[in-house]
Amino acid sequence: MTGEPLGLLPFVPGGPHFQLSRDLFHELGFQELWANEGYVGLQHGAAKFILQDLDNGAFAGNLMVRIDVPDLEAWWRRIEAMNLASRFPSFRIKPPITYPWGREVHFIDLAGVCWHVGEP
> b/e string for 86-100 if b means 16 or more Cβ within 10 A?
eebebbebeeeeeee
SS3 category, 90: coil
Residue 107: the pLDDT is 98
Q: What share of the chain is helix, strand, coil (3-state, %, to 5)?
A: 25, 40, 40
SS3 category, 95: strand
What domains are defined for the chain?
11-118 (3.10.180.10)
Give the helix ranges, DSSP H, for 1-120: 18-27, 57-60, 72-82, 84-87
Confidence (pTM) = 0.94
Tens of pLDDT, residue by residue over 22-69, are 999 999 999 999 999 999 999 999 999 999 999 999 999 999 999 999
